[in-house]
Amino acid sequence: MNDQVFRVKFWGTRGSVAVSGPEFIRYGGNTACIEVQCGKRRLIFDTGSGVRQAGEALSREGVEQLDIIYTHCHYDHIIGLPYFTPLYNPMMSVRLWSGHLAGQMTTGQMVKQFMRPPWFPIESDICQACLNFQDFRTGDVLTPFENVVIRTDKLNHPGGCVGYRIEWAGRVLALIFDTEHIAGELDPAVLGLIKDADLVVYDCTYTEDEMPRRFGYGHSTWQHGVKLAEAAKIGKLALFHHAPSRTDDEIDEFERLARLRFDGTFAARDFQVIDL
C-alpha cells in the first residue's frame, strides 16, 4: 500500500432518499457516504445507504480500524449504519464522531436512539466491534490520527450540519454536504473550509431556477458551487447530493454547463474513485 495515498471513494452521492431504475444507472442511487483514505487509515463521512457496500469492501480488505464522522443525522445520512458489517466484527475498532448536536445529544445517544425498536429490530449493543464515541463542537479542529487535521465549521441546514476540511500530506479535501446559500452572498464559513482545496465536494441538489420554491430546505445549487470554486481558487469541484428525481441525463447536462464556467467540475458518481 502507498503510505502517501490520499484517496476519495464515493459510495453514495444521492440526497434525501435512495433511488433505483434505468434513469439512475450512471450516477447511482445510494445516499451520502464517502470514504477517505489517508495512507493506511480510513475515514467514512456519513453512513447513507452507500455504506453497506463500503463495509463489505473494507471487510474484504481486512481493515480493522476506522473512523465514521457525521455531518448530521438526517435519514439519508445515517440510514445505512445498521447494515455496516464492520460493526458486528469483534476484531474491528470503530470511532464515531459528531458535532452538529453539541449540547443537545451525544454521538452515542444518537446512534443508540436510531438503532433500537421500533425503528430497528435490535439495539446497538448487538454490535461486537469496539465502538468509541467522540463529540465535538463546530469550529473545533479534529486530529483523529497523526498528521491528519480536520477543520470544522457550521453549515446552513435545518437541524445543523458540519462542513469539513481534511488536510493531509500537503493536500486538502473539503466536504460541504448539506448547505443552503443566500442569494448573492458567499458564505464565509464555506469559503474558509474550501480555500485553495484540491477537491471540494459540494451540495448541488437544486438549480437556481428551483431555489425560490425550495427556500428553507437547506440545499444549494451547481451554479453557486461554481461561484464558490472560482472565488476560493480550488482545484476540482464535485457536484454531490443529487436530487432523487434527477436523472442521469439531467446530471450530465448540469456537469456540461458547469464545466463551461469551471473546467474542474465533475458530477460525482457512486463507486467513483479520485486520488488527490
Q: How big is the chain, counted in residues?
A: 276
In angstroms, what CA-CA distances link 235 with 169, 181, 251?
16, 21, 21
Q: For residue 4, name the pLDDT band (cuts at 50, 70, 90).
A: confident
What residue type is assigned to position 263 of the chain? D
Contact residues for 256 (Cβ-Cβ < 8 A; gap 6+):
none
What mean pLDDT, rounded, does the chain reach?
Answer: 97
Distance (Å, whole) CA 171 – CA 6: 8
Distance (Å, whole) CA 105 – CA 112: 11
* Backbone region of residue 184 per phi and psi (left: phi > 0; alpha: psi in -120 to 50; beta: other values): left
pLDDT, one tens digit per residue, over 183-241 is 999 999 999 999 999 999 999 999 999 999 999 999 999 999 999 999 999 999 999 99
What's the average model confidence in pLDDT over 68-72? 98
Cell of 266: 465533475
Cell of 253: 447536462
Q: Find cell 470554486 and name the residue.
A: 229
Q: What is the DSSP string of 105-116?
A: --HHHHHHHHSS
Question: Would you state the pLDDT for residue 249?
Answer: 98
Question: Would you state the pLDDT for residue 1?
Answer: 52
Q: Walk across the sheet containing 265-267 and list its strands.
A: 141-142, 149-154, 162-168, 171-176, 199-203, 236-240, 265-267
CB 5 within 8 A of CB 37: yes
Question: Would you state the pLDDT for residue 257?
Answer: 98
pLDDT, one tens digit per residue, over 23-50 is 999 999 999 999 999 999 999 999 999 9
Specify the pTM. 0.97
166 pLDDT more than 80: yes
What's the average model confidence in pLDDT over 62-82? 97
